[in-house]
Amino acid sequence: MKTIKVSVVTPDGPVYESDVEMVIARTQSGELGILPGHIPMVAPLQIGAVRLNKEGKTDFVAVSGGFVEVRSEQVTILAQSAEEADEIDIERAIRAKERAEQRLHEQKRENIDFKRAELALQRAVNRITVSEKHL
Amino acid sequence: MASLRDIKNRITSTKKTSQITNAMQMVSAAKMNRAEANAKSFVPYMEKIQEVTASIAAGSKDVGHPMLTSRPVKKTGYIVITSDRGLCGGYNSNILRAVYQTIEKRHKSSEEYAIIAIGRKGRDFFKKRNMNVILDIVGVADQPAFAEIKDIASKAVGMYSDETFDEVHLYYSHYVSAIQQDVTVKKLLPLTDISTSSKLTSYEFEPSAEDILEVLLPQYAESLIYGALLDSKASEHAAVMTAMKSATDNATDLINSLSLSYNRARQAAITQEITEIVGGAAALE
């Protein structure tokens, strides 16, 4: 089967690099599947899991924002933070989730901190789900 | 001439100082290597994001974004990256002098500029002179993670977007080699000169070029700040290393010359004693 090169890059260095058959990412306008030979494209990503299908298996990478860049021979995901499923610190994610939930309860709506807590919660939940999928 | 004991005390204390500076030199050498590696691992991200930004900005000239267009400058923001500690030679003072002179030259009142200080030395310098420091962050780790700087970076970018600033300059020390670091000034915002060496690709945008720029440009500006921080961390450790190396060398020189005068003084004392004994013996005969 045809494959396409994928790299997930963050400011702290490359996180994932491999040749895969299909990349599935959640962009801001919806789920997007990328096969080899896709037209060059750029799309911003939501906080979510990127799925990478490879030889009948699926790798998961938790991505916090950023965007995906597609070229004919390569897909690059540029994110401010990203972790492969088996590298997620689940304890930390659970703690972050609890902290964010607590903050959401305390704060009144339409606050900047509220929005930040909400994003933190999304990131934590994303990490937890990705890590569970891996197990 | 100083007494034997005085000289001996000075030799001992100089030796102790040189032990400390020598240790600091080795610690910074190790830290510098790691900081250099960090700066290197950031390069692929930076190159990629630059390439994409350049492609989009060049491919869609008609797309206006406030971060890409210059506007009349009423207030300028200065982001200044310094270290938290001294003992690093001219590292901090070079940067601070450059910023200070620029501000003195360009601005008449403190209304016209604001400073964002990363690092204790810079913050203290400007606070002491009652200059307008609006944001500061101290205690950045030697191996900073992106998360540590993200907050201040996005605040800085946000202040440009909500027109608190009309332009933002970045002052930091660029790491050239272990013995050379240059003070560098970068115009961070507006992003008027995005250039890339590789060929530009024309992309499809999903949902639209405007929406992409909305996400991409702040991320690009933030990563420029982070890149500058990594660069200046490497410079900082290099500067500490060089400063401590010359301190150790100076201490060694000092110890050598002190030992010489110690031995002279000792010899003189012995000679005098012999003369006294001989003189005494002669007097008895």
Per-residue pLDDT tens digits for B198-215: 566 778 887 787 888 888
Q: Do residues B35 and B230 touch, judged by C-beta distance below 8 A?
A: yes
The structure tokens listed for B222 are 């933030």
| CATH 2.60.15.10 matches A4-85 | yes
Q: Which residue has the tokens 């990349």?
A: A23
B153-193: pLDDT as tens digits: 888 888 888 888 889 999 999 998 888 899 999 888 888 76
* Average pLDDT for A48-54: 90
- The terminus-to-terminus CA distance of chain B in angstroms comes to 34
> b or e along B170-187 (b: 16 or more beta carbons within 10 Å of the residue's beta carbon)?
bbbbbbeebeebebbeee
* Domain boundaries defined on chain A: 4-85, 89-134
**Separation in Å, CA of A135 to nearest CA in chain B:** 27
CA distances to B9, B56, B65, B166 from B68, in Å: 64, 11, 5, 12
Contacts of B203 in chain A (CB under 8 A): 40-42, 69-70
The encoded tokens of residue B159 equal 């202040």
Residue B81 lies in a domain: yes
In contact, B206 and A43? CB cutoff 8 Å:
yes
Which stretches of chain B are DSSP H helices? 4-59, 91-106, 120-128, 146-161, 209-284
- Asked, for residue B217, whether it belongs to a domain, the answer is yes
Confidence band of A106 (pLDDT split at 50, 70, 90): confident
What does pLDDT average to over chain A? 85
Give me the pLDDT at residue A80, please: 85
Residue A79: list chain B partners with CB under 8 A: none
Query: Per CATH, the architecture of A89-134 is what?
Result: Up-down Bundle (1.20)
Interface contact flag, B219 A78, Cβ < 8 Å? yes
Q: Does pLDDT of B195 surpass 80?
A: no
Is B88 annotated as catalytic? yes
Whether residue B146 and residue A9 make contact (CB cut-off 8 A), yes or no, is: no
Q: Which of A43, A66, A71 sits opposite B219 (nearest CB)?
A: A66
Which residue shows structure tokens 């070029």?
B209
CB atoms within 10 A of CB B45: 23
The predicted structure's pLDDT at residue B285: 80
Residue B118: the pLDDT is: 92
Which residues of chain A from 31 to 50 reach within 8 Å of chain B, CB to CB? 32, 39-44
Q: Is residue B149 part of a domain?
A: yes
According to DSSP, residue B140 is labeled -
Phi and psi angles of residue A3, each rounded to the nearest 5 degrees, phi first: -125, 165
Locate B51 and state its tokens.
């390439």
Chain B, nearest residue to A43 by Cα:
B206
Residues B18, B252 contacting (CB under 8 angstroms): yes
> Could you tell me if residue B251 is inside a domain?
no
Of the candidates A116, A45, A48, the one whose C-alpha atom is nearest the C-alpha of residue A78 is A45
Count of structural domains, chain B: 1
Tens of pLDDT, residues B99-153: 999 999 998 888 889 999 999 999 999 999 989 899 888 888 888 888 788 888 8
Whether residue B37 lies inside any domain: the answer is yes
Task: Kindly indicate the confidence band of residue B54, based on its pLDDT and cuts at 50, 70 and 90.
Answer: confident
> Which residue, B184, B196, B187, B271, is CA-closest to B232?
B184
Per-residue pLDDT for A109 more than 60?
no
- Choose the catalytic residue: B39, B54, B81, B88: B88
Q: What is the mean pLDDT of residues B22-49?
A: 91
> Are the beta carbons of A15 and B146 closer than 8 angstroms?
no
Q: In this complex, is the C-beta atom of A115 within 8 Å of any C-beta atom belonging to chain B? A: no
pLDDT one-digit tens code per residue, A20-49: 999 999 988 889 999 998 998 889 998 888
Residues above pLDDT 90, as percent of chain B: 49
Which among B41, B45, B52 has the least Cβ separation from residue A42?
Answer: B52
Residue of A nearest to B52 (CA): A69
Q: Which segment of A56-60, A118-122, B198-202, B207-211 scores lowest on mean pLDDT?
A: B198-202
| Distance (Å, whole) CA B94 – CA B218 | 29
Place of tokens 């100089």: B14
How far apart are alpha carbons A51 and A23 in whole angstroms?
6
| Cβ–Cβ gap A12/B202 under 8 Å | no
User: How many residue contacts between A and B have a Cβ separation below 8 Å?
Assistant: 80
Residue-range definition of the domain harbouring residue B222: 23-243
- pTM as predicted: 0.83
Q: Tell me, yes or no, whether B86 lies in a domain.
A: yes
Strand order in the sheet with A48-54: A30-34, A22-27, A48-54, A57-64, A81-84
Q: Specify the length of chain A in residues.
A: 135
Residues ≥6 apart with Cβ < 8 Å to B109: none
* Mean pLDDT, all residues of chain B: 88
Q: Residue B217 is part of a domain; what is its CATH number?
A: 3.40.1380.10
In angstroms, the CA B229 to CA B224 distance is: 9
Residue B283 lies in a domain: no
Q: Which of A42, A83, A115 to mutate to test the interface with B (most CBs of B within 10 A)?
A: A42
Is B50 a residue whose pLDDT tops 80? Answer: yes
Interface check A81 vs B, CB under 8 A: yes
Taking each helix axis from N to C terminus, what angle separates A90-106 and A112-134, rounded to the nearest 10 degrees? 150
Q: Select the residue of B145, B211, B223 nearest A44 (Cβ to Cβ).
A: B211
Residues 6 or more apart whose CB falls under 8 angstroms from that of A24 comprise A31, A32, A33, A34, A50, A51, A52, A53
Under an 8 A CB cutoff, do B42 and A32 touch? no
Q: Hey, which residues does B133 pair with through a beta bridge?
A: B115
Token pair listed for B52: 């994409």
Read off the pLDDT of residues B12-28 as tens digits, 9 standing for 90 and up: 999 999 999 999 999 99
Closest alpha carbon within chain A to B49: A78
Is residue B14, in this structure, part of any structural domain at all?
no
